[in-house]
Amino acid sequence: MTEWSKRTKAVHAGTRRSQYGEISEAMFLTQAFAYPTAEAAEARFIEAGEDEFIYARYGNPTNRMFEDRLAMLEGTEDAFACTSGMAAVNGALMALTQAGDHVVSSRALFGSCLYVLEEVLGRFGVDITLVDGTDNAAWDAAIRPDTKLVFLEAISNPTLEVIDLAHVVKVAHASDALVVVDNAMPTPVFSYAAKLGADLVVYSTTKHVDGQGRMLGGAICGSRDLIRGPIETYMKHTGGAINPFAAWTHLKALETLDLRVRAQADSTMQVAEALAGHAKLSRLSYPQHPSHPQHAVAMEQSPSGGTVLAIEVKGGKEACFRFLNALEIFTISNNFADAKSIATHPATTTHQRLPQDQKDTLGISDGLVRLSIGLEDPEDLIRDLKQALAAV
Ligand SMILES: *Cc1c(COP(=O)(O)O)cnc(C)c1O
C-alpha cells in the first residue's frame, strides 16, 4: 500500500469492512461498544487492540478509517481526527506544551490560532515569540536552545505568504523543538510538510477535504508515538474527537479530493494569469505566479500554488465593495476551499478585530480580497471577475 499513488490511497487506504462486506464504508453511529464478557471488558481497558473500541470520544471504526486514510495520504504513521481544525490546533499545542516552555510561531496566522497561542497558552505561562515567517534570519534569531515547539501556517491566510519549511525544520530540530504545521492551504494533495520533516501536520478538514462546505472537521497527523501518546491522551480526555458522521463525510470526500483539488488549483492558476497586471488591481498574490515574492521556494516545495489567491483592488474599501457586490458567480463569504467559488474581504470580516497596525504588518488592506476558486468552469469565473472589476 505504501507504494500506491495518492489517488489510489485516497480511494482505498484504511478501509475496514464489517461482517456484511459493504463496499461503501460504514458509518458507525454508536457512543459505546459492548463486550461479550466482563473479562473481555477488563482486557480491553488494559490494552485495546487494532479493531477494538471503547467509547466514541476515544475512537470509533469510522473515525479510524478516516484517520488511517488521511495519514496514508500525508505519509505519516498515524492521525487523530478532531471536531474541527481549531480542535486539532488547540489539541496539538496544549498536549505538547507546559508552563515555562518557549514557543516560536509565524505571525501571519489564522485569527483563532493566534488566540490559542497568545491568549490560551499565554494564560498557562507559555512564552510565545512571533516572527515574520518569510524571513529565515528571524527564525534563526528566535529559536533558542530551550525552544520546545515551533508553529506555522505553511502558506498563510489571507495573504498567501510562503515559509521555507526545510529551513525552519532544520533550525528547530537543531534545538530539539517539535515543528507543528497548520496545513490548510497546501491541502493533503500538495502537502510537503511531513516530507520536509514536520513532526505534526494539522488539517482543518473543513476545508479541501470536505470540499463542499458541509461539515467541520480536523486532524492531527504524525508519528505513532506522538499521535497515540500525548495527542490521543489529551484529545480523548478533553472531548475533541470528531463526530462519526463528519468523519464519514470527510472519509468519503477523500475519494474525490485529488481530482477536485487539482482541478481547482489549475483554475486558480488560470485566474491568476488572467488577472495579473489588471489595471484595477494594485496587487496579486499567488505562490505559483512568478510575481509572488517567495515564488522560487514555493515551487521548490510544491508543484502547485493551491486553490486560493489574493488580490488588492485599487481605490480602498469603497471600490472593493463595489467589486464584491458586482460578482455574480462568486459568493461573498468567509470560508474557503468549497466547490463554490468564494470572495472574502478579510479587513471587515475574518480579520476585522485586528488592530490597524497588525493589519498593516500583515498586508490586510481595505482593498484586499481573498478568492477561493471552486469547481466551476474557470472561463466563467474569469469573466465574472473581469465584469466585476469593470464595475469599479
Ligand atoms: C479554517 C482554518 C482553521 C480552523 O479550522 P476550523 O475547521 O474552522 O476549526 C485553522 N487554520 C487554518 C489555516 C484555517 O484555514
Residue 92, H or E segment: helix 85-96
For 296, residues 6+ apart whose C-beta sits below 8 A from its C-beta are none
Which of 82, 83, 86, 117 to mutate to test ligand 1, by most ligand atoms within 8 A of the CB atom?
86
Looking at residue 53, its pLDDT comes to 95
Mean pLDDT, to the nearest integer, of 57-75? 96
Is 344 a pocket residue for ligand 1 (Cβ < 6 Å)? no
Residue 127 predicted with pLDDT over 90: yes
Mean pLDDT, to the nearest integer, of 333-340? 96
Residue 38 predicted with pLDDT over 80: yes
Nearest to 253 by CA among 288, 224, 212, 221: 212
* Tens digits of residue pLDDT in 150-161: 999 999 999 999
Mean pLDDT, to the nearest integer, of 277-299? 96
Q: What is the pTM of this model?
A: 0.97
The CA radius of gyration of the chain, in Å to the nearest whole number, is: 21
Q: What is the mean pLDDT of the chain?
A: 96
Is 157 a pocket residue for ligand 1 (Cβ < 6 Å)? yes
* Tens digits of residue pLDDT in 193-252: 999 999 999 999 999 999 999 999 999 999 999 999 999 999 999 999 999 999 999 999
Looking at residue 70, its pLDDT comes to 98
Looking at residue 3, its pLDDT comes to 86
Tell how far the Cα of 335 is from the centroid of ligand 1, in angstroms: 9
Looking at residue 65, its pLDDT comes to 98
Residue 168 predicted with pLDDT over 80: yes
Does CATH place domain 6-253 in 3.30.420.40? no
Mean pLDDT, to the nearest integer, of 115-136? 96
Is 162 a pocket residue for ligand 1 (Cβ < 6 Å)? no
Residue 303 predicted with pLDDT over 90: yes
- Provide φ and ψ at 178, rounded to 5°: -80, 145
Mean pLDDT, to the nearest integer, of 52-74? 96
**84 half-sphere exposure, CB direction, 13 A CA radius:** 8
pLDDT level of residue 18 (50, 70, 90 thresholds) = very high
Cβ atoms of 75 and 209 within 8 Å: the answer is no
Looking at residue 191, its pLDDT comes to 97
Residue 353 predicted with pLDDT over 90: no
Please tell me the distance from the alpha carbon of residue 257 to that of residue 159, in angstroms, as a whole number: 24
Is 182 a pocket residue for ligand 1 (Cβ < 6 Å)? yes
Looking at residue 332, its pLDDT comes to 98
Question: Where is pLDDT greater, at 244 or 1?
Answer: 244
CATH of 257-390, one of 3.90.1150.10, 2.130.10.10, 3.40.50.11540, 3.30.499.10: 3.90.1150.10
**In the chain, domain spans:** 6-253, 257-390
Question: Where is pLDDT greater, at 3 or 234?
Answer: 234
Share of the chain above pLDDT 90, in %: 95
Please tell me the distance from the alpha carbon of residue 67 to that of residue 90, in angstroms, as a whole number: 18
Residue 285 predicted with pLDDT over 80: yes
Mean pLDDT, to the nearest integer, of 173-191? 97
Residue 1 predicted with pLDDT over 80: no
pLDDT level of residue 50 (50, 70, 90 thresholds) = confident
Looking at residue 286, its pLDDT comes to 97
Report the nearest atom of ligand 1 relative to the CA of 156.
13
Helix ranges, 162-294 (H)? 165-174, 224-226, 232-238, 244-275
Looking at residue 111, its pLDDT comes to 87
CA angle, 331 then 162 then 367, to 5°: 40
Name the closest-CA residue to atom 11, ligand 1: 110
